[in-house]
A and B are shown apart, each in its own frame.
Chain A
């Protein structure tokens, strides 16, 4: 058997149009502008070298100080799977069953659901404002999640510091902290019938069983089952978002909370977070000693030891 020349296999480059589309998608609201083009044209018209240098200086100053172009506004509504939106230096991981509106990389309004925001350091650019209900979050560069809950919102900061504004009061929330602090949330989702390891006939179209919210919303709230399934679908693609949904579900006390708490432990173990996985298993066994996944949790705990 002779050794083959695998390097002879051809390589097909991508065409310019495709790269342009990617650039536009990366910038989302800021079109790709060949910023240097006006300068080059100007230099061609300017004969003396000194004048050319001066013109370049003016151009550089203008590029640095020019006002931001008007931001195009966009709306995003997700279904069972979330999506990722990039706007300038802001990456928004929009969770499943969420609706938001954003204006460039300056303002995000979360109407429903949750969003994980990753904001690159802003430098001289104005801070990003993320609004959800009566809460606004001001940020200059960090990673944090905002959950819309009825007329208000909850904020969890992964790293960096944000300023949460509500009712004229500002609170600074640091890495690993949550807002509001350990107080009952203003609204909780309507309780639903337990559905452990549900079969399709138990939960046909649970999306429509929740009562309509008091304020108008474009889509009905997703059921715990839908949220659980959305989290399961996100596990490989975006484990952080999946974990956030599981954590939210696990706050309840129904069968989906049990499933979600165990799934959180399993996910932590799969990601090599052994201490966190063990802590979640112990929490599961303390809260649901005879739950559907109690045996699984014990086995996982033994394995982690």
Chain B
């Protein structure tokens, strides 16, 4: 897989448009999913995915294959998300990107509830500082291990643990005061803790999940 990644990166760097398209097609969902987990909305998503890929293509020459290409892309994506949050922090979670619920959908109510919970959760996340928010989003919402979050954020493991712990404390306290959020986020039958959560199924392309 690493050799395949290196070959693809090499072809992209040499200006091979087909390879660049292939990389975009292969990784676009991964980049969008990472951005979405951090931002909680598809507002500005097209611009951000574009920005992330511009950075990716610009930096590909420095990809040496020490990590998987996916992990390397995640790092750039996280940097793009941090920069976005730093320069323009949204005050409210947006609703315009939420798709219509089709009539006759048996799960419509459940999905509407999930979206409302997400809107409320990201409104709370808007009140955290950028680093705490990103660390928490990647670990608690996206289910990445703390060590991976630390690598993606260029931070120490200890600093990352502290950020996640503080963010979780604030978020859980606020969520407890919100009946919709509290009921939605309740563990089912004392289920697995959030830190052992798996990443969103079906969103990342094959081979996208990294340890």
Contact = CB atoms under 8 A, between A and B. Distances in A.
A86 B193 CA distance: 44
Contact of A7 (B86, B175, B198): B198
Contact of B118 (A9, A13, A22, A118): A9
B187 A23 contact: no
Interface stretch (A121-129, A171-179, A191-199): A121-129
A21 interface: yes
A169 interface: no
Contacts of A125: 15
Residue from B14, B86, B186, B193 having most chain A Cβ neighbours under 10 A? B14
A3 B24 CA distance: 37
Contacts of A19: 28, 32, 49
B32 A8 contact: no
A237 B141 contact: no
A4 interface: yes
Contact of B184 (A8, A18, A35): A8
Contact of A10 (B18, B54, B114): B114
Interface residues of A, number: 39
A236 interface: yes
B28 A121 contact: no
B172 A122 contact: no
B204 to A, nearest CB: 10
Nearest to B203: A11
A285 B138 CA distance: 46
A26 to B, nearest CB: 6
Interface in A160-202: none
A3 B36 CA distance: 23
Interface of B is mostly: helix
B171 A6 contact: yes
A7 B140 contact: yes
Interface string A30-45: 1010010000000000
Contacts of A25: 46, 50
A214 B205 CA distance: 57
Given A1-B172, A88-B15, A123-B14, A10 B115 contact: yes
B74 interface: no
A246 to B, nearest CB: 19
24 contacts: A3-B187, A3-B193, A4-B186, A4-B187, A6-B140, A7-B197, A10-B114, A11-B33, A12-B36, A12-B97, A12-B98, A18-B45, A21-B46, A22-B53, A23-B24, A26-B20, A30-B17, A91-B54, A91-B57, A91-B58, A120-B58, A122-B15, A236-B83, A237-B87
Given A23-B21, A89-B15, A120-B15, 11 more contacts: A3-B194, A4-B172, A4-B175, A4-B194, A7-B197, A9-B118, A9-B121, A13-B32, A13-B36, A22-B28, A63-B18
